[in-house]
Amino acid sequence: DAKTTQPNSMESNEEEPVHLPCNHSTISGTDYIHWYRQLPSQGPEYVIHGLTSNVNNRMASLAIAEDRKSSTLILHRATLRDAAVYYCILRANSNSGYALNFGKGTSLLVTP
């Protein structure tokens, strides 16, 4: 499985934009890029996913590099409720039904 690399932690001020980077230099042509987040004491929560083009939804935007070797999750205005661990994930082994290979993720701290 292709691996992802994320910073261990990031910090942002409330109501500021946040750019969470992810490197995936060994990504294959058919791998989707998924982002999940995990708030304290909760299960992981789907945020967004994409293949080649940039994607927007009500939670965030996903910017994918032209060579697909990196991507950035963008939270347009961070709130205190966005403090969580953010995971950048590529498709896992198809025998596992595209189960999610969670790495360590980026722990986002949002300060007032």
- Which positions touch other proteins (CB under 8 A)? 32, 34, 41-46, 49, 51, 91-104
Q: Which is nearer to other proteins, 14 or 32 (CB)?
A: 32
Smallest separation (angstroms) from other proteins to the CB of 19 = 22
- CB nearer other proteins, residue 3 or residue 17: 3
**How many Å apart are CA 65 and CA 76, to the nearest integer?**
18
Q: Which two tokens stand for residue 34?
A: 């998924």
Residue 74 beta carbon to other proteins: minimum distance, rounded to whole angstroms? 18
Indicate the residue among 12 and 86 with the shorter CB distance to other proteins.
Answer: 86
- Residue 94 DSSP symbol: G
Sign of CA dihedral 89, 94, 99, 104: negative
Taking alpha carbons only, the member of 83, 84, 4 closest to residue 44 is 84
